[in-house]
Amino acid sequence: MKRNLLWLIFALSTAVQGATPEAGTLPPELKPVPEEAQAAHLAAEVLSRYHYKATPVDTVLSEKIFDQYLKSLDPERLFFVQADIDQLSGYRTKLGDAALKEDLTAPFAIFNLFELRAAERFGYARTLLKKGFDFQQNETYQFTREKEPWPKTEADMRELWRKRVKNDWLRLKLAGKDDKSIVEILDKRYDNYLKRMTRVKSADAFQAYMNAYTMAIDPHTNYMAPRAAEEFDISMRLSLVGIGAVLAEVDEYATIRELVAGGPAMLSGQLKSGDRIVGVAQGEGGVMIDVMGWRLDDTVALIRGPADTVVVLDVLPVDAGPDSKHKLISLVRKTVSLEQQAAKASVHSIVDGNSTRRVGVITLASFYEDFGARQKGARDYRSAARDVARLLEGLKKEKVDSVLIDLRNNGGGSLAQAIELTGLFIDQGPVVQQRGANGQVSVERDTKSGVAWDGPMAVLINRSSASASEIFAAAIQDYGRGLIIGDSSFGKGTVQSVIDLDQVAKNSKPQFGELKMTVAQFFRINGGTTQLRGVTPDITLPSAIDAEAFGESSFDNALPWTQIKAANYSPAGDLKGLLPVLQALHDTRVKKDKDFQYLQEDINEAKIRRKKNMISLNETERRKQLAADEARLMAREPRKDANKDGNKDTAGKDSASESDKTTALRDDGLQPGERKLATELAAEKARKDAKDILLDEAVNILGDEVAVMKTGNGLTARTQRAPVLLLE
């Protein structure tokens, strides 16, 4: 999937513009190290020979890299002016050769200019705070500029940033902040951006360039520096060796955001959310290293280490002032399981008259797999399919009538896990077809007899469901095994393999990083592909995502849709006859469901504003819009009072939650890291606990299916299932 370039790029993409920055905040001039030049050469050789769409390093590729590089650095055209682009155009045909010739002068020159321009823009933004703004003028601000031309002059750029800073100020003003507080908040915000830029390293510039190189070939080929590769491995195996604490940077402190259940930090009882780590030492008596003001990833690297070794933390407690007494905490590093990211199950009940239908929901955020443990032959290695199989056994004991696999926002993962997960619901047979660069097609199959669940099922997807999620959903749909509910998926129909460049170079220590490289295209067993088109749901639910801006079709260099011969498979059922009935029941229900109608109303309003792409900088106009939005939400409260069951407690709770929603939706003008940690955690919990209208409707649709199948209605929806196989 598309990666965020760096924490730097993320920070800059949310900001504001050209005076000269203060001397202490000038970004360093970055220069490549020899290992980076060698890694670039090796990566270019591998890509030109073994990529699915093997691309020669020529002028055409160099120009694509150049365009991709500028797009990744300055996607909203907020930093470079046209004169900069003209100046840099001399590098347009040199960025491919830069890798092959191990001469990274050109990409680093581009990055250094970008850093300088960004520092100038933030420096200018700070000067604007001394002047204030007139909010009675009739001005507008365009909040999305990725399709706009580069500003022609510095004057144009300053005007763009004046409006951007003005909008930042107005947002805080509308949230109730006074001018003094607003200046303090924004000055600190822009200063923090400048400070972060001074901590940028050559590795950041190199990874930005290499990802521009790889993504110029295809959208899903990426370069991962050694540290990024480690994070990718952690996300796949759902475990790491450390203390079990999630950190965030708050006011230049490495702050404990939350503790991982069962980790050394939580078990010690000595740390809590909000504590600040100001020093790290390796072992008892080790030298304490001051990490105040460090990049967060550097601090994390110091805290992590080999299992069963000691790390000593110098901690400033959450409620203590900067000059208060610190405390030293010694912890033994252990393997920490990231259970929050693992598959989870819940049971939802649908009461219909005298009958109750129970639907088991399994939420899967990624198709994870501990590759290393599996390769070593470990019997208990962690994987998505194994966890889901275990959860299915639990749901059967709960006597659920149907199962829903929630793959919303699941960007994929292991291809093997997509196949194994499909095998839990079908009795042997092909799952997906792959076509390699040589044009040969292979069929990946589920080879295990029996199924873990043979009852009714469905898959819930959205635009962010991609890759392995699409393989699974497509197979379930092609077999007629279950319903597909939601929004059309991402449309990624390619397979990537991770290439360890250090293994290629036979390095004993990691220094070159890894390539996640496209090596094949996958096809459905019916011969079609999810490429560009994604998986089309059987029953569609509304989505707030802009399909034109997000998904495979939004990439300029995505592979085209194509088709091959269907695999030899036997459908497990046929749900086509059920669909008209289920669609009618769904349509009737959502017309009466106020929550669903309100959601649709909010989505439509968001689409209108996104298309308009303009916001007023007139305070009176903005307050009118804010009042209209709040009135629209508050007008929804009265219907909650008329609870069908006459349950006043429930009605009161619903009404209160709607009021809370109105408050929560009010823009406070702040960015992550600017709110109190407790406030951010409480808001996250509120979002997590909020009613999931789309999930509820998907559950209702499955309940309809169970009811229709029980009553018959003259429909033969599926064939006899194979006996249940209990998986380890």
Per-residue confidence (pLDDT) for residue 673, from 0 to 100: 86
* Integer-rounded Cα radius of gyration of the chain: 27
Q: How far apart, in whole angstroms, are the C-alpha atoms of residue 454 and residue 426?
A: 8
Query: What is the helix (H) or strand (E) element at residue 280, kind and residue range?
Result: strand 276-282
Q: In this structure, what token pair is assigned to residue 435?
A: 């076509």
> What does the DSSP 8-state code read for residue 628?
H
Same fold, 239-337 and 340-512+519-582: no
Q: How far apart, in whole angstroms, are the C-alpha atoms of residue 165 and residue 160?
A: 9
User: Do 435 and 52 meet the contact criterion of CB atoms below 8 Å apart?
Assistant: no
SS (H, E, C) 305-318: CCCCCEEEEEEECC
User: Do 62 and 93 meet the contact criterion of CB atoms below 8 Å apart?
Assistant: yes
Beta strands 483-486 and 457-461 are parallel
Closest residue by Cα to residue 197 from 332, 30, 380: 30
Per-residue confidence (pLDDT) for residue 22, from 0 to 100: 53
Q: How far apart, in whole angstroms, are the C-alpha atoms of residue 219 and residue 71?
A: 13
Residue with tokens 């209605």: 713
> What does the DSSP 8-state code read for residue 177?
-
SS (H, E, C) 672-727: CCCCCHHHHHHHHHHHHHCCCHHHHHHHHHHHHHHHHHHHCCCCCCECCCCCECCC
Q: Which of 464, 467, 489, 616 is catalytic?
A: 467
Q: Which of 218, 478, 538, 704 is catalytic?
A: 478
Beta-carbon-side half-sphere exposure of residue 564 (alpha carbons within 13 Å):
20
Query: How remote is the C-alpha of 282 from its chain's centroid?
Result: 33
Q: Which of 163, 166, 173, 492 is catalytic?
A: 492
Q: How far apart, in whole angstroms, are the C-alpha atoms of residue 239 and residue 236?
A: 8
SS3 call for 728? coil
Q: pTM score > 0.85 for this model?
A: yes
Cα separations (Å) of 682 from 51, 298, 313, 505, 673?
A: 46, 28, 27, 48, 14
Cα separations (Å) of 202 from 110, 189, 205, 400?
A: 13, 24, 5, 55
Cα separations (Å) of 661 from 654, 658, 683, 691?
A: 10, 5, 11, 11
Q: How far apart, in whole angstroms, are the C-alpha atoms of residue 501 and residue 511?
A: 9
Q: How far apart, in whole angstroms, are the C-alpha atoms of residue 288 and residue 693?
A: 50
Per-residue confidence (pLDDT) for residue 713, from 0 to 100: 52
Q: 440-444: list long-range contacts, CB under 8 Å, 24+ apart.
A: 441/523, 441/564, 441/565, 443/525, 443/567, 444/415, 444/419
Query: What is the helix (H) or strand (E) element at residue 330, kind and residue range?
Result: strand 327-332
Q: How far apart, in whole angstroms, are the C-alpha atoms of residue 502 and residue 509?
A: 7
Per-residue confidence (pLDDT) for residue 381, from 0 to 100: 93
Residue with tokens 């009852």: 455
467 is annotated as an active-site residue: yes
User: Do 634 and 662 meet the contact criterion of CB atoms below 8 Å apart?
Assistant: yes
The amino acid at residue 114 is F
134 is annotated as an active-site residue: no
Bridge partners, residue 328, by sequence: 314
Q: How many CB atoms lie within 10 A of CB 10?
A: 10
Per-residue confidence (pLDDT) for residue 467, from 0 to 100: 97
CATH fold for domain 340-512+519-582: 2-enoyl-CoA Hydratase; Chain A, domain 1 (3.90.226)
Boundaries of every domain in the chain:
7-217, 239-337, 340-512+519-582, 594-694
> What does the DSSP 8-state code read for residue 219?
T
Q: Give CATH for domain 239-337.
A: 2.30.42.10
Per-residue confidence (pLDDT) for residue 666, from 0 to 100: 74
> What does the DSSP 8-state code read for residue 552?
G
Cα separations (Å) of 686 from 87, 274, 344, 632?
A: 49, 19, 19, 21
User: Do 705 and 582 meet the contact criterion of CB atoms below 8 Å apart?
Assistant: yes
Low-confidence ranges of the chain (pLDDT < 70): 1-25, 637-665, 712-728
Spatial CB neighbours of 268, under 8 Å, sequence gap ≥ 6: 329, 331
